[in-house]
Structure 1
Amino acid sequence: MGAGQHELGTRPSLLLRLRDPRDAESWREFAELYGPLVLRYLRRIGVSGDDAPDVAQEVMQIVLKQMPRFDYDPAKGTFRGWLYTVTTNRARRFFARQRRRPPARGGTSNVEMVEGLPDAGAGMEEKWEREWQVRCLQAAIATVRPRVKGTTWRAFEMAVLEDRPPAEVARELGMSIGQVYVSKSRVLKRLSEAVEMVTT
């Protein structure tokens, strides 16, 4: 089952299922949801495109080892917050390893890269949250898109994502303006529900 073809499970139920390292379906779901988040965040904070997948894999290996003992308690913090800490720490270790290598001629030294990585809380957590919001929307779109009629989706896409006037959308798609508004409303409702499944 590919991305967008499964229901996005709520995080608490997914976390419980991840305690079993043999539950391939749950781990696939986890990788689809959180893998792109980790990768985009690593690239955003300066891990190179070639190295980011390797660091992301290190993060996933830590999660795999820790999940059988992971006790989800919202009062102590979110799983996403824990994953942010793990990812940031792996990035710091990566930059520390890089620091021990001689810099390429004319390039930024590895010492500068390590020193340039902000302290946790100095904007890094905001970047992580932005990446999470982007990932939630991507996952919601992948889930909702196959379940919406082509013209309904296109009306939403043009009116919302392309920010085109409803009258122009209606004219181009051969719909009434009212139908454009209904299409927009239906898709937004479904997307909101899909995002809610991920974030609650």
Structure 2
Amino acid sequence: MSPEPAETLSQTAFQRVHAGDADACELVVRVYGPIVYRWARREGLSDDVSQDLMQDVFLTVFRSFDPQRKGRFRHWLWRVFRSRLTDRFRREQKQPLSLGGTAGQQFFQDVPDLADTPPDEHSPDGQADQKLLLVRAVMAMKSRFQEHVWQAFWRVVIDGQPPSEVAAELKMSTWAVYKAKSRCLKLIQTELAGLEIEWNRSFLTQ
């Protein structure tokens, strides 16, 4: 029989980050880190500089995290990213560093005027960001379930297989498959809400 998942982070994840909880900080970086990296790459930064900037962003996030902040976390994260990018630009103007040769130096001479908010969620870039966030968050929860429980959930909810078919393949009762589906889906949707990420099944089937 599968053990019950550990206490969900969704109700306390950001509060635990504020309290310095290492596991909660790791979860936030694991889910949101690739988005910050993607933002940096979209602005023309090299891989190394994008990685370095991502670390700067999350150091700032964890030093100044406010669980009672107003607005969405992604928007605040974007403002931190914009601020750290601007700071790096100013440092680079005073003391040039290697950012990938001439192209990197030219970037810091012509640093773009970034928007006040991240890409709109309905734009192609915004949709790509939302999909990456969802995939990263969902896969971060996989280890909290036994493999056959996760497989039952994934095959029924994501792959769209009939529960009776999944039950036969996994040597489970149909009732157990329904239970696995319900447990996983409930935890995932609760966790996503706590991480300010919307559930969208289509992002996981593409």
Q: Would the TM-score normalized by the shorter structure come out above 0.5?
A: yes
CA shift for structure 1 position 108: 10
Greater mean alpha carbon deviation, residues 97-106 or residues 154-163: 97-106
Map 1:1-200; keep pairs closer than 5 Å.
Answer: 7-8=8-9, 10-11=12-13, 13-14=15-16, 16-18=18-20, 26=21, 28-45=22-39, 46=41, 47-67=45-65, 70=66, 72-74=67-69, 76-94=70-88, 104=101, 110=107, 114-115=111-112, 119-121=115-117, 123=119, 126=126, 130=130, 131-139=132-140, 141-142=141-142, 145-146=143-144, 148-199=145-196
**Using a 3 Å threshold, how does the CA distance of structure 1 residues 49 and 81 change in structure 2: closer, same or farther?**
same
- Using the TM superposition, give the Cα deviation of residue 53 of structure 1 relative to its aligned residue in structure 2, in angstroms: 2.5
Change (3 A) 1:64 1:121: closer
Distance 1:178 1:184 in 2: 10
Cα separation, partners in 2 of 1:171 and 1:97, compared to 1, 3 Å:
farther
Aligned partners of 1:37 and 1:135: how far apart in 2?
A: 5
Structure 1: stretches of 5+ with no match in the other structure: 19-25
Name the aligned partner's letter for residue 36 of structure 1: R
Long gaps (5+) in structure 2: 198-206
Aligned length: 180
Identical-residue share of aligned pairs (%): 26
Cα deviation, residue 159, structure 1 = 2.2
| Residues 41, 128 of structure 1: 8 Å contact kept | no
Distance 1:91 1:193, change over 3 A: same
Q: Please list the CA deviations of residues 22-54 of structure 1 after superposition, one character each: whole Å capped at 9, or x if unmatched.
A: xxxx1x134312223443123322143322331
2:203 match? none
The letter of the residue matching 2:119 is: G
SS of aligned partner of 1:190: helix
- Cα-Cα RMSD: 4.1
1:105: how far off? 7.2
**Cα distance, 1:96–1:135 mapped onto 2, change above 3 Å:** farther
Is the alpha carbon distance of 1:122 and 1:173 closer, same or farther for their aligned partners in structure 2, counting shifts above 3 Å?
closer
Cα distance change on mapping 1:110 and 1:163 into 2, 3 Å: farther
